[in-house]
Structure 1
Amino acid sequence: MPQHAELLPSDVEAITTGLLRLSQQIDRAECPADIAEVLAPIVDRHDGVLRRLTQIFEAVGDICNDFVLQDRYASELQGESDDAFDTLRNLLNQVNDLDAQFRTFAPHVTRTPRGHRPAPAAQSSASHDTPQAPSGMRIRQAVDTLADLAAYLREHPPLDDVLPLLARLLNEDRGVPIVLGSILRCTEHLLGQQSALPVSDETRLAMEAFREAAQEATDWHVLHWDVQRLRAQSGTPGR
């Protein structure tokens, strides 16, 4: 196995200094896209800071099991480490597309100087450059495809044939939970952005419902890990 150099105190100091600089960079952000750039290395599901912290506590929980036979107190520490792992994993799922959400703002949105509020006329005359909406037929086709998959699964096909399909469905980057969560969050954003002020109770309740549904949908993204473990166990080729 390859040997890795030990982490020095100076390395840890560099990490904390880098995080401080990220915080300062956010404070200087002039537009939502600037914030997205700062958040990307933190919330990235593959190499982000939260992902690495999650791996650290996962490793701590695993290694504690090797100490249990000599000292049962290690099992308590293992439980606490596993709890920390779950908390960080849930946090990662919660913020996994936070950078993408900041990129949903229109290009004209910039920072207002401290102590000032934008003029109402400026808000009403703002233009919104949005991608072309997919047709209702394309959306129906996407829904029909999912219905076809459900019908296929009801026929009890071989698991080796199913797992690659589930891997695509639950992909950690572009799977249905991630995309659906993003759609619901953007809808909440639109409701808050385009509703008349003051926001009615009905609209506020709808916004809360979309926000909660978005989080619940995104949470199901964790199933991609279960699919990966099942594929490894069955020897099904990776994606």
Structure 2
Amino acid sequence: MIKVLLVDDEPLVRSGLRAILDGETGLEVVGEAGDGAEVPALAARLRPDVVLMDVRMPGIDGIQATRLLLEGNRPDGTPAGPKVLVLTTFGSDDYVYEALRCGAAGFLLKRSRPEEIIQAVRTVASGDSVVFPEAVRQLTVPGHDQAAAKLLAALSGREQDVLAELAAGRNNSEIASALYLSPETVKSHVASLLAKLRVRDRTQAVIMAYETGFIKPGARRTGG
């Protein structure tokens, strides 16, 4: 059973999400919060697997709440708390970008279809990230972080290929098919590149790739 905590200052939004998720086999809404300030205590008591987090709330917003939830990371940098899936009205919301930088596993538009919401919850609960390439491109602006560029340059050719596929929004099975690799090999490459880039998850790796210009919108890398 995947346990979900809903965080949104609009009761109507929470009711809609609860109706969608509670009606699905294997998903259970264990609690609700209308303010980010309530989240740490609720998460500690209810131990949800996934937190659906609105980013724009009065008081403590979703960015601060995400940071509070994930600040107790393990020594290797991986989150010790629940997975955070950000909810937003606009795909280009800067609040979303900051939440992803704080460790959120992905984001959803509030107008997403019920099946998309259900799949996203299952995806992040399983340890993957929800990456929407077009939206990430809108959120990120290529910069000149030389330290990050050096980390990216240190990736092997195959790891660079896998990162390019991640930036295209593909999952492990799709990457395996595109690069003629086994899913197990892809999983190994993903784990290796995350460690080399010193990032928490796929979303963070994709953000780094776009920020540094390693991946350019519309560009397509070829395997090697």
Normalising by structure 2, what TM-score?
Answer: 0.27
> Per residue, is there more helix in 1 or in 2?
1
- Structure showing greater radius of gyration is 1
